[in-house]
Structure 1
Amino acid sequence: MLARLRRAPLLMALVCLVVVITLNAVYYVHFRTSLIDNQKVQMNVLFNSVRTAIETTAAGEKLVEDMVGENLRTASIAALYKLDPDIDKVTNEELVELSETLNIAGITLFKQTEDDIVGLKSSDPKEINVSSKGWDTYYKAFQQMLDLKPVDVGIGQTFPYYWSGPKDTSTTNQTSVDKWGYYYDGTTNYIIDPFVHDTHMAQYYEEAGVDRTIQKLVDYNEEMSLEISVLNPDKLLGIDTEIGTADYWFSERLVLFGDYRTQDPDELYYARKAIDTMQPVYYTTVSNGRHVFKSFNPLDIDYLKFSRDRPPLLIEISTDYTKLQASLDRQLNQSILFIAVSTVIAILIIGLYLAMIRKLRERVALSVQEAYVGNIDSLFHRVREQRHDYNNHLAAIHAMATMGKFAELKEYTKALVGDVKWTNDRVDIGIPAVGGLIHAKIAQAESLRIAFEQHFSNMEHLEFGAVKATDLVKILSNLIDNAFDSTKKLKDPGDRMVKVTGIVLANQVQFKVMNTGEHIAPELHRKLFERGYSTKERNKHAGLGLHIVKSLVASYKGSIHIENIDGGVEFTVMIPVGLRDRGAAVG
């Protein structure tokens, strides 16, 4: 019996040690899973911030590029009236002079041959006799234009007799990224192609473009060793496309925005999985000898594509996994330390118990059961106390880790999107494209010292199968620009005001744009919408803005009218539309 009593402390020590080790192992696994899940949550929130920033910035970039495209259309129309309709009677010298007059990089005239469409005349010698047969989407657009059909190739801007593709690398000058416009209305035997270099838009991209936005996000998260990039999935996955067979083309680069350095052997599998599931994927890998935590997130923005058939772009986000591993290592060390301390305490207890047994050997028969029970209770009590303290310690660590990370994220989010959130709070429209336009017009109004008011309601119920967001932007932007032009004539800035309202009434969307200023004579109401008519100076306006509005409204079988009101003029546009939820959108 005495031998069994002597073995009992050793058995209890082993049991306690196994229990402590098991509990610590379970907690370590739980801590590791929680830490990784927390990192995923942070990266997902970061992705949403990146996506929002990129969508907003891309909308601004598209607005700038569309403005350049519209300016090229104006240049095309000017060239149409200036040049002889027969390409044989046009000289390259004329095109050089006309390019300088229109303040564009150059003009090329394309003519159809038996099996090609060739640039026969140009202000740029490199463009002369350039073939467009291998330009795929551009060549299809030329064929549609020559057939006097509206261009429908899935990308670019389309107007009557005009199409402009996205900026891309020049075939004749691989160091230049250009934007071209193409015009053909059948009155000439050639397509008019004015173009500008990317330097016309470079300043905007440098100050407010997607690359600049990504760089700011990386700078704000310097402690995470963060990398963010927007990747071309066709190049990443090796998919053949019709657009840009040459690697040097702007549209064919792997990294569209940002900086991609953490390439790894598993990226093709996870990138394909993200595209197939349209869900973010996360994984750990080794890249360039560094352990990283990485994610791919699909980003479907048509403006950033160079073909409508291309898969969605991918946002790649990676962080330094060694920092995450360092937290795990600290927790493991703390667990090992706790086990060691618990083991030492258990050994001390065992030693004390054995010493007590030796002293009481002569009374072992009478007191052994009492001593056994008392010491076992003491041991469990001590373990329970330690476990209680240990749970408090774990809770504190978990709380600090969790709350600490989100606090940093909150500070980061506050610093990154404080201005954007402030703006979004002011312009809660429900349509990102229209919201982006109003954001821009608010800034423009402030620079012109014009009081600008806006109110939109029920816009989120619009069904864009009937009315495209791009058309709404064109209608509103031209009406607001017209209002700015009218009210800024007032000498006293305190009298300048433009007010924009939009509301969905039953199955119609109504826009009102009011400006203070002079009334418009009733006999001029109809003429304002004629092509080329303008009350402004010819060197500033082409008289196309209100004509574009009228054409777009007419294409949707809508109506537009002008009303002289007290102190100004109000334009009202009504367009029949479909609704996502008719019961929710009532006037």
Structure 2
Amino acid sequence: MTISGIGKLLLLSICAFLYVKHWESQDSGDKALGIARFLAQSPIVIEAVIQNSPPLIEDKIERLRASIGAAFIVVGNKDGVRIAHPIKERIGKAMQGGDNQQALLLGESYISYAKGSLGHSVRGKTPIISKEGEIIGVVSVGYLLTAIDNKVSHFLVFFLGMAVLVIFANAIIANFIARRFQQSIFGFEPEAFGRLYKEQQVTLSTLREGVLSIDANGKLKSINKSACDILNIDPKGALNRPFIEILPDSDLTKLLVTKQSEHDIELLLNGQAVIANRELIKIDGQVVGAVSSFRRKDEISELMLQLSQVKQYADLLRSQTHEHRNKLNTISGLIQLGKIEEVQQIIGQESLRYQKLIEFLRESISEPMIAGVLLGKSERARELGLVLEIEEGTQLSHLPSHIRAEDMVTIIGNLIDNAFDATLNHFDTEIQAITVSVTDFGQDIIIEVEDKGCGLPQAFSLKELTKRGVSTKSDKGRGVGLYLIQQLVDQYRGAFTVRSEQGKGTLMAVYLPKELH
């Protein structure tokens, strides 16, 4: 407890004591006034005042005073001369205090505080009225203030003792709470914790990913700028409100019930497609909330597409380098052997093969990037000991404006790569051909890739295979190609079909409408 808190507690104790003292004085005054009124109406008191006879009431007054614990009971005549007093020597002398006027002159009953012959006292005074209605005297009953102080002094000791006890107890409780509080903030001092909180806020504001958290009651507790921008949420009116009211599309609160984290899930929030990760917030094993981070799905898809294209271009360069190195080594050996005619024949065959393939692609495929990927995959097939056959009916005069060439490259490249893997995994080494067809006849652009490989396991459906991370192969990092294809097909509102037979091959076809409806 601070010095100011201790001072306030002591002041409160003193005020409480003064209140008790005032209450006791007031109670004594009320009691004194009640006794005075009773005596003023007593016939024997009235008779004693009329006859000016102190012995008439002396004993009775004194017994009454002793029984009620009053300091004095004084009876005076209309001139203020004592007829009864606890000290006999003062009978017949004038009453002191100067507070008889209201009773003797105005006939009022009242409580007063004055200093008399016995000291400072609280008094109850009332006039004595004869049968004829005349004021003939006054009765004064009093309690000494020193006696009242002695009576309530133990309250001051009690209040001060309680104050000290409260201070001591508060120190123990404050120390206990401080330790618990420090444990709850992982041993940091409040100042350090405040600094860490500010650092966290700044860090979250710099992230491109959206990050938000809810408490155990499902109320939004934090949200960074990226999350507000992605979900179009106003942070000022969102915090500490039920998250279901802010974002009805979200089911983040279900984690508080299922207690299961979720990773790389696709969601549609406020009309925005996102890829999200969700984790529970636990303290001492208890779930106290949940946090979610997410990014726009199109950003992640764009990044994956770029990586896929880079991989395809790298494969193209690698396969061409490998193939040309083999040819150059062969030509070098023949030259050293003096086989010039054979060298010319190899060069001629190679040039003719390339020339035919390039000429066919140039006439059939108007988009250079698509022609390039087909040429590159053809070289890659030769490197793997396979044959990539491009059907003679292949024809792509032009791409619709809404279909990007990069997306076509991604679809064709991944379909062919899957066909390569399926063929290489097949035990029948005689069947090594993969057939590719790209046509734009009719209302759709149709891409077909057929292999005579191992086929798809019956345990895997197309819906299962097009999930990210799902693959028929055990290698880590697989399960991306078909997922990307499905994403692009959905984007262009097309169709993706697979016809496969175990051990006999697979035909994969993609249909992309030329016009969006």
What is the TM-score normalised by the length of structure 2?
0.33
Q: Which has the higher helix share?
A: 1
> Highest relative contact order (Cα 8 Å, sep 6+), 1 or 2?
1
